[in-house]
Chains A and B, each alone.
Chain A
Amino acid sequence: MNLRRDVFQAIADPTRRAILMLLAAQSMSAGAIAANFDTARPTVSKHLQILTECELLKQEQNGREIYYHLNPHKMKEIADFIEPFRQMWDERFNKLEAIMKNYQSKNK
């Protein structure tokens, strides 16, 4: 599996971006993170699992609770920030393609 692609997918989701932003300020337990969202707790857990799997988050056992914190090394990789930029261009080019296909069939 392509790990880099996974990072892109991880940050393409708005909830996961919100989780990253919450954790930018401090490390938090899964429960404390889930309390910030109106989505079901298992959904938040799934997001945390995805973010952990692609190494954007690190887990740390603290007593009974697992705390999550950002993996700053991974976040610094500029590649992580490129995906929304790529999507912006992709959408623009998709539009160009659709318009020109339409133009092509009209002018045949």
Chain B
Amino acid sequence: MEPKTKVHAEEGKQDLLITRTFDLPLDLLFKAYIEPEIVAQWMGTKVVKLDVQPHGGYQFETSDDKGNVVFKANGTIHECTENKRIVRTFEMENAGFPVQLEFLEFESLDDNRSKLSMQIVYRSIADRDQMLKLPFEYGLNMAHNRIQELLATSK
């Protein structure tokens, strides 16, 4: 079976393409990107600001259960064409990664299915590759921690 979410990243390029088909009508998919309460739910973050229109912007803030802010991100909206396109920037605050440019294209496949194509442009090839490897390295670190725990308990 074809995976619903696909990532296409060509070697030696500084952008990548994420595509996903949804069992949702186009207007509902688009709504999930512009309604602050809905974005908060699926992104799992507090939405401080979300104003999806040209010259608008957004701000996300995620806290741990003690109330410490552990993640902050923000961006500027460049274009918003209803049920069609959002162009925006994305930047994690204090994370050391440069801002990235995102082109989100929404299209209808039929009455109940829609597709999102998200092109992300990074500042350099190295920046893109580093972002791509983050979840892999996170998994590796988790495995590493587990090995260390095992070694510690087997002593």
State whether A97 touches B7 (Cβ < 8 A): no
The interface size bin for chain A is: 20 to 34
CB B31 to nearest CB in A, in angstroms, measures 7
Q: Is B144 an interface residue (CB 8 A)?
A: yes
State whether A18 touches B29 (Cβ < 8 A): no
Per-residue CB contact flags for chain A residues 6-22 toward chain B (1 = under 8 Å, else 0) read 00000100110110011
CB B26 to nearest CB in A, in angstroms, measures 11
Q: Is the interface of B mostly helix, strand, loop or mixed?
A: helix
The interface size bin for chain B is: 35 or more
Per-residue CB contact flags for chain B residues 116-147 toward chain A (1 = under 8 Å, else 0) read 10000000000001011111101110111011
Residues of B within 8 A of A78 (CB): 9, 11, 129, 132
Distance of A22 Cα from B70 Cα, bound (Å): 30
State whether A85 touches B7 (Cβ < 8 A): yes
Residues of B within 8 A of A82 (CB): 7, 9, 132
- Please list the residues of chain A having a beta carbon within 8 angstroms of any beta carbon in chain B: 11, 14-15, 17-18, 21-22, 36-38, 78, 81-90, 92-93, 95-97, 99-101, 103-104
What are 30 pairs between A and B in contact, CB < 8 Å?
Answer: A14-B139, A14-B142, A17-B139, A17-B140, A17-B143, A18-B144, A21-B140, A21-B144, A36-B147, A37-B150, A38-B150, A38-B154, A78-B129, A81-B133, A81-B136, A82-B132, A84-B135, A84-B136, A85-B133, A86-B3, A89-B5, A89-B20, A93-B4, A93-B20, A96-B22, A99-B41, A99-B42, A100-B28, A103-B38, A104-B28
